[in-house]
Protein backbone atom coordinates (compact mmCIF):
# COMPACT_ATOMS: atom_id res chain seq x y z
CA UNK A 1 0.00 0.00 0.00
CA UNK A 2 2.99 2.25 0.26
CA UNK A 3 3.79 2.05 -3.50
CA UNK A 4 4.24 5.38 -5.25
CA UNK A 5 1.37 6.20 -7.64
CA UNK A 6 1.68 8.84 -10.32
CA UNK A 7 -1.43 10.32 -11.93
CA UNK A 8 -1.51 9.75 -15.69
CA UNK A 9 0.87 6.79 -15.63
CA UNK A 10 -0.68 3.41 -16.33
CA UNK A 11 2.41 1.37 -17.11
CA UNK A 12 5.12 0.29 -14.73
CA UNK A 13 8.74 0.45 -15.71
CA UNK A 14 10.98 3.11 -17.10
CA UNK A 15 9.66 3.36 -20.66
CA UNK A 16 6.15 4.00 -21.88
CA UNK A 17 5.05 1.23 -24.35
CA UNK A 18 4.21 3.82 -27.02
CA UNK A 19 7.82 4.97 -27.06
CA UNK A 20 9.08 1.45 -27.61
CA UNK A 21 6.81 0.84 -30.61
CA UNK A 22 7.21 4.17 -32.43
CA UNK A 23 8.55 3.69 -35.99
CA UNK A 24 11.72 5.46 -37.06
CA UNK A 25 10.18 8.20 -39.15
CA UNK A 26 12.64 10.20 -41.21
CA UNK A 27 11.90 13.38 -43.09
CA UNK A 28 10.84 11.58 -46.28
CA UNK A 29 9.19 8.56 -44.69
CA UNK A 30 5.50 8.11 -45.52
CA UNK A 31 3.58 6.23 -42.89
CA UNK A 32 0.80 3.92 -44.09
CA UNK A 33 -2.62 5.44 -43.62
CA UNK A 34 -5.68 3.55 -42.48
CA UNK A 35 -7.74 5.78 -44.80
CA UNK A 36 -6.01 4.62 -48.00
CA UNK A 37 -5.03 6.73 -50.97
CA UNK A 38 -6.53 10.10 -51.75
CA UNK A 39 -8.37 8.61 -54.73
CA UNK A 40 -9.95 5.84 -52.64
CA UNK A 41 -11.08 8.35 -50.01
CA UNK A 42 -12.52 10.57 -52.74
CA UNK A 43 -14.37 7.64 -54.33
CA UNK A 44 -15.96 6.76 -50.98
CA UNK A 45 -17.26 10.33 -50.66
CA UNK A 46 -18.60 10.75 -54.21
CA UNK A 47 -22.23 10.13 -55.03
CA UNK A 48 -22.69 7.81 -58.02
CA UNK A 49 -25.69 7.11 -60.22
CA UNK A 50 -26.47 3.66 -61.61
CA UNK A 51 -27.29 3.33 -65.32
CA UNK A 52 -30.91 2.72 -64.36
CA UNK A 53 -31.05 5.88 -62.23
CA UNK A 54 -29.40 7.96 -64.97
CA UNK A 55 -32.01 6.75 -67.48
CA UNK A 56 -34.87 7.51 -65.07
CA UNK A 57 -33.54 11.01 -64.41
CA UNK A 58 -33.38 11.65 -68.15
CA UNK A 59 -36.79 10.06 -68.92
CA UNK A 60 -38.53 11.98 -66.18
CA UNK A 61 -36.79 15.28 -66.86
CA UNK A 62 -35.25 15.49 -63.40
CA UNK A 63 -32.27 17.83 -63.23
CA UNK A 64 -30.13 18.02 -60.13
CA UNK A 65 -27.85 20.98 -59.50
CA UNK A 66 -24.76 21.14 -57.33
CA UNK A 67 -26.80 22.26 -54.32
CA UNK A 68 -29.17 19.30 -54.64
CA UNK A 69 -26.27 16.87 -55.12
CA UNK A 70 -24.64 18.22 -51.96
CA UNK A 71 -27.92 17.80 -50.06
CA UNK A 72 -28.29 14.22 -51.32
CA UNK A 73 -24.69 13.43 -50.39
CA UNK A 74 -25.29 14.85 -46.91
CA UNK A 75 -28.46 12.76 -46.59
CA UNK A 76 -26.50 9.63 -47.54
CA UNK A 77 -23.93 10.50 -44.86
CA UNK A 78 -26.71 10.80 -42.28
CA UNK A 79 -28.23 7.48 -43.34
CA UNK A 80 -24.81 5.81 -43.15
CA UNK A 81 -24.25 7.21 -39.66
CA UNK A 82 -27.45 5.46 -38.55
CA UNK A 83 -26.39 2.15 -40.12
CA UNK A 84 -28.75 2.23 -43.10
CA UNK A 85 -28.18 0.03 -46.12
CA UNK A 86 -30.89 1.11 -48.56
CA UNK A 87 -32.49 4.50 -48.07
CA UNK A 88 -35.33 6.51 -49.58
CA UNK A 89 -34.37 10.16 -49.97
CA UNK A 90 -37.29 12.56 -50.46
CA UNK A 91 -36.48 16.00 -51.76
CA UNK A 92 -39.40 18.28 -52.71
CA UNK A 93 -40.86 16.51 -55.76
CA UNK A 94 -38.07 13.94 -56.23
CA UNK A 95 -37.64 10.54 -54.62
CA UNK A 96 -34.35 8.65 -54.79
CA UNK A 97 -33.55 5.13 -53.68
CA UNK A 98 -29.89 4.99 -52.63
CA UNK A 99 -27.56 2.14 -51.80
CA UNK A 100 -25.88 3.75 -48.81
CA UNK A 101 -22.88 1.41 -48.64
CA UNK A 102 -22.01 2.04 -52.30
CA UNK A 103 -23.15 5.70 -52.24
CA UNK A 104 -25.06 4.91 -55.42
CA UNK A 105 -28.46 6.26 -56.48
CA UNK A 106 -30.32 3.18 -57.69
CA UNK A 107 -33.46 4.82 -59.08
CA UNK A 108 -35.19 8.19 -59.20
CA UNK A 109 -38.82 9.30 -59.41
CA UNK A 110 -40.53 12.60 -59.94
CA UNK A 111 -43.67 13.76 -58.13
CA UNK A 112 -46.07 12.11 -60.60
CA UNK A 113 -44.25 8.77 -60.46
CA UNK A 114 -44.29 8.80 -56.65
CA UNK A 115 -48.07 8.99 -56.37
CA UNK A 116 -49.72 5.75 -55.25
CA UNK A 117 -46.32 4.05 -55.18
CA UNK A 118 -45.07 1.63 -52.54
CA UNK A 119 -41.37 1.80 -51.71
CA UNK A 120 -39.94 -1.61 -50.80
CA UNK A 121 -36.56 -2.96 -49.77
CA UNK A 122 -35.56 0.18 -47.87
CA UNK A 123 -34.58 0.42 -44.24
CA UNK A 124 -34.62 4.19 -43.82
CA UNK A 125 -35.94 7.44 -45.22
CA UNK A 126 -34.30 10.86 -45.21
CA UNK A 127 -36.45 13.91 -45.94
CA UNK A 128 -34.66 16.96 -47.32
CA UNK A 129 -36.60 20.22 -47.12
pTM, two decimals, is 0.66
pLDDT for 6 equals: 52
CA distance 7 to 17: 17
Q: Specify the DSSP element, H or E, that contains 106.
A: strand 104-110
pLDDT digits (tens, 9 = 90+) for 2-23: 665 555 545 454 544 444 444 4
CA distance 109 to 96: 6
Residue 129 — very low, low, confident or very high, per pLDDT cuts 50/70/90? confident
Cβ distance 47 to 77 under 8 Å? Answer: no
DSSP state of 30: -
**Spatial CB neighbours of 25, under 8 Å, sequence gap ≥ 6:** 31
- Write down the H helix ranges in 1-129: 17-20, 38-45, 51-59, 66-81, 111-114
Cβ distance 90 to 75 under 8 Å? Answer: no
pLDDT digits (tens, 9 = 90+) for 18-76: 444 444 544 454 544 555 676 665 556 689 999 999 999 999 999 999 999 999 999 99
Domain boundaries, the chain: 48-127
pLDDT for 8 equals: 52
Amino acid sequence: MNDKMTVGQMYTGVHHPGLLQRPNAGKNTVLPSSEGTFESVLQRKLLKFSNHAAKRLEQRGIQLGNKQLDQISSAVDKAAAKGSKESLILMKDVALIVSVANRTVVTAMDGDSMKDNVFTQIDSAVIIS
